[in-house]
Chains A and B, each alone.
Chain A
Amino acid sequence: MACALIVRTVFRSSCVGEVMRAKSSSNLGKACNRMIWNDCPKFAKREGRIWKEDVPKPGNGRSFRRIVHYPEEYTVQPLNVTNLAGRDPVTGRVVAKGIGGGIKHKYHWIAWIREGPKEGEPLEERVIQIMDDGCRTAKIALVAGGDELKYILATENMKAGDIIKTSAHIPRIPVRGNEGDAYPLGALPMGTRVNCIERFPGQGGRYVHAAGTFATVIRHVGDRVIVQMPTKHELSFSQECMAVIGRLSNVMHNKTPIGSPQRLRELGYRPRSGLWQRKSGRHGRKIRPLPPVRVLDKPPPERPEPIVLSLPEQ
């Protein structure tokens, strides 16, 4: 097949010399390359691609496990995903090691923003069902209010039939809420366990999503609320940041052993080396004093898009 291609291209070219070279075995590769480049640019070899392309670094909130195909409007229909196996979808290079395989789960789109009335009676919704979601550790709750359905993260004792409340009002006297209720941090008394905390007001729950975790409201300082995260770090939020009361469901998650290497594969992880890695941080951290309270006062400015200059190739 390849030979046929070469011969055809060779005979089409006007240069006799090339024909001669193509015949000798030593120059065959070179001639082949050149002819393919000229005649079929589709097959052009991507020269030196290793350093030509930008491979992203892991972290910065990007997931290299899967792409979720979100529709334009919110829906409770489980969404299709494309599994990435730790690869960057643009370059196809491995970014996050140790990810790959496993059961393919559909993604349940969680409604992160809990919107409630600024004043007056809180908004009430009913929990329809508590479900498992393969894409996260905590359980999820299907919630209905009005003629809309949505998913939220299920708290520890949430069950079907419960009424959950949402309010954006900050009263003078703190609210004693029930599990699953969403209130601004400023409305909650000290010592309340919360999850799904907004980083900045109106952006949707961002902190504390994992199974069995909770943050604790430590103290109110002016119009800011200081919350202890599951890492024991203390963050200072605006008092208007919404948070959901209660500890997240699937409490036994971190106490449940994976069980077998095969089960690890089912969860979408590739085999580990088992080697003692002193420096990688995999086997625990050094105990250090906690950092000072981190104040989240305003969203970081958006980084401007770089202008990409292009030089047409000659």
Chain B
Amino acid sequence: MRLTTVLCKQHIGRMFKYHWRIQSKRIPVDTKAESEIQARGIPVYEPNDIIEEHRQLVQVTTAKPLVPKPIPRDLTHPLYHERICHMYRDHNVLLKGLDQGKILTKTVEIKTGLPVEIENLLGVHCLPDQDILVQRCILKSHVFDAMQVKLPKIRDPQRPAWNFPRGYGITDKRRTITCVALPYLIYNLLSPKLIQLCEFACGNSTDAVLGRAVVQDETVFVPFEKDGDLIQLELTVNFMLNSAAPLPLYADADEVQGTQDIPLPDLYPIKHTITLEKENIYQIRNVFPVLKGSKFPYIHTAIFHCNETEVKNIYETPVTEEQVQGRTLLKSFAVAAAHAQQRFGVNVKDLPEPITVQCVQTDGRLFHFAVFQLNTLDLDGTEGKKNIFWMLPRIPLFTSCMYVKGRPLLEGYNSEVFSRLLAFCSNGLPS
């Protein structure tokens, strides 16, 4: 017995759906009705204005969240300014490197190499077993340190598809910190450790330890005007030795006057503020980490780190030698200028007495030694007195330091670097 009848009907649901899919999209034809109606003075409304339900939103107050929401970085921000400020921070790199730095800070080099007085200090102080101590220090920071973290990916531009095994080990930041402890062998890790060593070396004179103070990882803020642009440097000093007496001047008044005739480099058609970060939200601050009235108010030596993973070009190509040198110049200028603004007042232009700073920039392997003399903070234009910069090219402390076939190996140790560091630290001590 049949329970249902056969209707012989087609299932046309799909046909309807398909038809609707096509026909649901309509492109309106301009009938010119709107312009015609408007011409006759009849008001035209958008249909949605009439059809749509207009809802009034009621403000509801809720309990404040435990973590306050970050303030949106827009026009309503309390620190928003109409005027753009060009910021230079630790991760920034100057496009044209040293040349651009010279224009920004109105600085010239009067001779290549360091001042003669500092060159003469080479080898005056030394430690017994100095090189062995330094090599041990390098091995400790590059090989024996217990840090084991994931390191950045390695890429070979010749074989872009090759995936290297992911490395674990000591980060470049940690390496620099520990390696620069050599003077701290003159105080404890390489800037701390190397410096500690330097203080042992100068240990016969109590001034080396008692006459110095150390500042670590502090930030200096230096705002200044340059050719109508507002520029602020916000830079970290990783390690700074301060002394009770200022360093001597390495360029006398005649040489300073002579800088008027030395031209600054020409960047045309590039402007000197290129690659500085343009910001509307900022706070103008004058900060020098050592308080006024300190027993050790004078900057002696400043050490800056330059880590590959932190200091980058915005276009992600490797930082060049020129750019590293430019970074040393700007950092040493920032330290000296912050000190000058604290000592002589924020608006000081022509310094009553110049300020000298010794600077070292390092990535743990390459060391860049420089001396900076701040003569003027009047940075407008290219005429007038200029600041003076002495520097050496970067010197490697060693060629390689790593495990080779399971054994720690330090190759190509260069004793010159520590001697120079020692000369810097011992500057101003009775020999």
A: residues with CB less than 8 A from B are 48, 51-52, 75-78, 103, 106, 124-126, 128-129, 131, 134, 142, 144-149, 163, 266, 303-304, 306-311
* B274 and A147 within 8 A (CB): yes
* A306 and B275 within 8 A (CB): no
B160's partner among A51, A77, A103, A129 (CB-CB below 8 A) is A103
* B26 and A145 within 8 A (CB): no
* A304 and B269 within 8 A (CB): no
* A103 and B274 within 8 A (CB): no
Considering the complex, which residues of chain B in the window 1-59 have a beta carbon less than 8 Å from any beta carbon of chain A?
14, 17-18, 20-21, 24-28
* B315 and A124 within 8 A (CB): no
Given contacts A77-B314, A77-B316, A311-B20, contact A306 B25 (CB under 8 A): yes
CB distance from A121 to the nearest CB of B (A): 11
Hey, what's the 0/1 contact readout for B260-280 against A, CB within 8 Å counting as 1? 000000001111011110100
* B317 and A131 within 8 A (CB): yes
Hey, what's the 0/1 contact readout for B162-206 against A, CB within 8 Å counting as 1? 000000000000000000000000000000000000000000000
- Distance between Cα atoms of A208 and B232 in the complex (Å): 43
Which residues of B lie under 8 Å from residue A78 when comparing CB positions?
315-316
Which residues of B lie under 8 Å from residue A126 when comparing CB positions?
269-270
A-B pairs with the 5 shortest C-beta distances? A306-B25, A147-B271, A266-B161, A124-B269, A147-B274
B314's partner among A149, A306, A309 (CB-CB below 8 A) is A149
* A144 and B270 within 8 A (CB): yes
* B274 and A304 within 8 A (CB): no
A-B contact count (CB 8 A): 71
Number of interface residues of B (CB under 8 A): 26
Can you list 7 contacts pairing A with B, beta carbon distance less than 8 Å? A51-B21, A76-B315, A77-B314, A77-B315, A125-B269, A146-B274, A309-B24
Flag whether B208 is at the interface (Cβ < 8 A). Answer: no
A306's partner among B18, B27, B273, B317 (CB-CB below 8 A) is B27
Flag whether B388 is at the interface (Cβ < 8 A). Answer: no
* B269 and A145 within 8 A (CB): yes
Flag whether B360 is at the interface (Cβ < 8 A). Answer: no
Output the nearest chain B residue to A75 by Cβ-Cβ distance.
B314
- Distance between Cα atoms of A52 and B274 in the complex (Å): 53
- Distance between Cα atoms of A103 and B157 in the complex (Å): 12
Point out which of B18, B161, B273 has the most chain A C-beta atoms below 10 A from its C-beta.
Answer: B161
Hey, what's the 0/1 contact readout for B357-384 against A, CB within 8 Å counting as 1? 0000000000000000000000000000
CB distance from B222 to the nearest CB of A (A): 20
Output the nearest chain A residue to B23 by Cβ-Cβ distance.
A309
A51's partner among B18, B273, B275 (CB-CB below 8 A) is B18
Given contacts A304-B28, A307-B28, A309-B24, contact A146 B160 (CB under 8 A): no
Given contacts A103-B161, A309-B24, contact A142 B315 (CB under 8 A): yes
Given contacts A51-B18, A144-B95, A266-B161, contact A163 B273 (CB under 8 A): no
CB distance from B171 to the nearest CB of A (A): 23
* A148 and B316 within 8 A (CB): no
* A145 and B270 within 8 A (CB): yes
* B26 and A309 within 8 A (CB): yes
- Distance between Cα atoms of A45 and B315 in the complex (Å): 47
- Distance between Cα atoms of A134 and B155 in the complex (Å): 14
Hey, what's the 0/1 contact readout for B240-271 against A, CB within 8 Å counting as 1? 00000000000000000000000000001111
Which residues of A lie under 8 Å from residue B274 when comparing CB positions?
144, 146-149
* A310 and B24 within 8 A (CB): yes
- Contacts A76-B315, A309-B25 known; 15 new A-B pairs at CB < 8 A: A77-B316, A106-B316, A125-B269, A126-B269, A126-B270, A129-B315, A129-B317, A131-B315, A144-B274, A145-B270, A148-B274, A303-B27, A304-B27, A307-B27, A309-B24
CB distance from A79 to the nearest CB of B (A): 11
Given contacts A147-B274, A306-B26, contact A266 B160 (CB under 8 A): yes
* B270 and A146 within 8 A (CB): yes
Which residues of A lie under 8 Å from residue B24 when comparing CB positions?
308-311
